[in-house]
Chains A and B, each alone.
Chain A
Amino acid sequence: MNHPELAEQFNRDEARVDWHDETLWFVRQKRDKAAHSLPEWETLRETASQIKHNVLGNLADYLVQFEQNALANGVQVHWATNAAEHNQLVHQILLDNQVDRMVKSKSMLTEECHLNDYLAQQGIDVIDSDLGERIVQLAGEAPSHIVLPCIHWKKEEIGALFHQHLGTEAGCADPQILTGAARLHLRDTFLTRRLALTGVNFAIAETGEFVVCTNEGNADMGVHLADVHIASMGIEKIIPRREHLGVFLRLLTRSATGQPITTYSSHFRRPRPGQTMHLILVDNGRSVQLGRDDFRNSLKCIRCGACMNTCPVYRRSGGHSYQSAVAGPIGAILAPNLDMTKHADLPFASTLCGSCTNVCPVKIDIHQQLYKWRQVLTQEGQATTAKTVSMQAMNAVLSNRGLYSLAGRVGRQLMRWFPALVSNKLNPWYTHREMPEPPKESFGEWYAKHRKP
């Protein structure tokens, strides 16, 4: 199924769509309030965008610099060209340490690589420790949002899920009590896992340290209680200097949830005595996207999710309708790079309203890239024949004033005589909307009568 079909399914329960829309709009409002509390907000965005631009232009050097510093810090650095290689590297580290169960904090990269599925096939038990991720994991689903993984779940449904898996009281839907149950369950996990995997929000070239941001403290709980820390990062997460964190940490959480900063912003530079720290640098299509003039800016993304919260389409179609680890507007410009055929529907899942571009803390021209992906997808032969034929026909009519006038006149006349020609269920417009009433004459015809030619 494609995005329109999944979105149509999502819209069959209108009350739920309203709830989903309003929940995310509430997050957008919190973001607005946080942004408007800083008069320097737009300067920060511009600065962040320029820092990331500098990174894109010097990425190879920064990667080498980062690697050298990280190695000097005692971190083991690995490189993975694609998802499969990343997953194998993780598995090898597990084998080397004779570990068959691990705890993992939020990492959209591992979602992109489908790490959990791969490790499950290898007989490794993985527990996601972010509460939202744990909820969707128990439900056998993928996250529907990069920051709010179970934003599509109602508390009553989570209550039922926890009753089944964690033994909470039947019918209990109190977020406080449910979170408390997850706290106990995951605390036991943290205390008994020897290996913890985290994502990376920022990696600093000049120091070789990397920063992980969480509200729950789950990344730190996992890592500080484990003998082995694996951090997986996309190669675009590099920033040049430590002081640049000042810019990004001011923007990230204000954009994401409206908080001034995440509860924990942890800077990992060296493993603690007795611990080993592995860092996996993953390409998986990023170097290809880097070579696309029109789309490389998408690599500036810091995964705040603001574009999803503001997107009127995302709010009314849900994250799963995108069928991509990263959903929403940013997902729609990242995913076609990974697989143009599979994700050909995504750049069209937008009205090009531009709100995403305005909230983006690193000023990615998201809606312009959506427009450009549409052109690329058509050129690459991803449009259906029916669409191509109808576009060519429309263009032919519009390119010829005589044909255009004739078609308009005939069309309006037919609509007046036979309204059922267009007002029927084969016309998607008519499903929820009336057709405009065709006037007797066009403006062109009126003008010819009332004004000198």
Chain B
Amino acid sequence: MTSREKILAAVRQNQPAASSLPPMPTSTTFDEQPLERFETILTGIGGRVIHVADLGEVSRYVEVHYPHPLRVITTLPELAGVAETNWTAYTPHGLADVELAIIRAHFGVVENGAVWLTEALLGQGDALVRAVPFIPQHLAVVLNQADLVPTMHHAYARIGHENYNYGVFVAGPSKTADIEQSLVLGAHGPKTMTVFLVSL
């Protein structure tokens, strides 16, 4: 008998009578004032929100805060003036010196300040780099303010049966409190995480 057969046989023999699945809970707790609460909650976990009218404002922000020679990359062609867009030829290791990455998110979640990314958003065409949200010193995410869902139940309802290869909820900067419960931002991944909330 293979290990697989042994385990499955033991499980079948010992598992209790099957019970049915419960209904999925609903929640209206985060229905009101989504913009304000998303901002408050994301700020509370170390992230920040910058309200912008359009991507031009994002460009100007990047110009001021991440001047040359800091390496800035993006997946948004509209930001080509202030960031590299042809970096997808690199291996993930080639991004080790990136200061800021600017990417798009599918949507944000009000209750926890998270944004949902999938591999399709992490590069161009077939050149996709999963390390992009993790390896830069700073991460910025462009999100339309209409794309906010109240809770994780709504989030998975929206994701549905989407056939992604890799997806990730990112909620704020990389962090740790392993040393005496003192919160430190920037454990291994980005030290800051900024969401540009686009109002148009």
Contact = CB atoms under 8 A, between A and B. Distances in A.
Q: Is there any pair of Cβ atoms, one from A and one from B, under 8 angstroms apart in the complex?
A: yes
Which of B129, B157, B161 counts the most chain A CB atoms within 10 A? B161
A54 interface: yes
B68 interface: no
A87 interface: no
Given A63-B8, A235-B7, A263 B22 contact: no
B188 A79 contact: no
Interface string B1-31: 0111011101111111111111111010100
Contacts of B21: 50-51, 54, 240
Interface stretch (B57-65, B73-81, B99-107, B111-119): B111-119
Interface in A205-260: 207, 215-218, 220-221, 223-225, 235, 240, 242-247, 249-250, 257, 259-260
A175 B7 contact: no
Interface stretch (B48-56, B140-148, B172-180): B172-180
Q: Determine the main DSSP class of B at the interface with A.
A: loop
Nearest to A64: B8
A180 B6 CA distance: 47
B25 A247 contact: yes
Interface size bucket, A side?
35 or more
B187 A224 contact: no
Contacts of B18: 54, 57-58
B14 to A, nearest CB: 3
B7 A281 contact: yes
A3 interface: no
A40 interface: yes
Given A221-B134, A263-B171, 15 more contacts: A50-B21, A79-B3, A148-B178, A150-B178, A175-B179, A179-B176, A191-B93, A244-B24, A245-B152, A247-B24, A250-B153, A261-B171, A263-B170, A267-B166, A290-B10
Interface of A: 23, 26-27, 38-40, 43-44, 46-47, 50-51, 53-54, 56-60, 63-64, 79-81, 85, 129-132, 135, 148-151, 153-155, 158, 175-176, 178-180, 182-183, 186-187, 190-191, 207, 215-218, 220-221, 223-225, 235, 240, 242-247, 249-250, 257, 259-270, 272-273, 281, 283, 287-288, 290-291, 293, 296
17 contacts: A40-B29, A57-B18, A60-B11, A79-B2, A131-B179, A148-B178, A155-B182, A179-B179, A183-B186, A187-B188, A235-B7, A257-B177, A259-B171, A263-B173, A272-B119, A272-B130, A290-B15
